[in-house]
Amino acid sequence: MVDKSQFYRGTLEGCILKIINDDEVYGYEIAERLKNYGLDGISEGTIYPLLLRLERNGLIDSVKKASPFGPKRKYYSLSSLGKQELNDFYNSWLKISDSINKIFGNYKED
């Protein structure tokens, strides 16, 4: 059985950077977007520590904004360093996915 959490671990950061690059978003919204893309096994408990690390490393910036439904929300945007990291991730992903596609090119399920 494939452990999806281990499989996602290496790609989750890049996916989150891409979501933040598309729009200024808050943590719960990132979790919902991941679910909408089919990555429904990823909890907010996984996402928030990752956001904290990305912010500490200067890849994302945050600002608190008022919410119509309660306390202020922390919205994230990509820093210039984050944009470069996203580009690097994407280029690496293209190379890896191309290699994997070549390996599985003639694979047929039993």
Whether domain 4-103 has CATH 3.40.50.920: no
Domain-wise residue ranges, the chain = 4-103
Q: What is the pTM of this model?
A: 0.88
Determine whether 79 is exposed, middle or buried from the number of CB atoms within 10 Å of its CB (0-12, 13-18, 19+). Answer: middle
Closest CA to 54 of 34, 74, 33, 32: 74
Tens of pLDDT, residues 30-78: 999 999 999 888 888 889 999 999 999 999 999 999 988 889 999 999 9
Please name every residue paired with 62 in a beta bridge, in sequence order, or none if there are none.
76
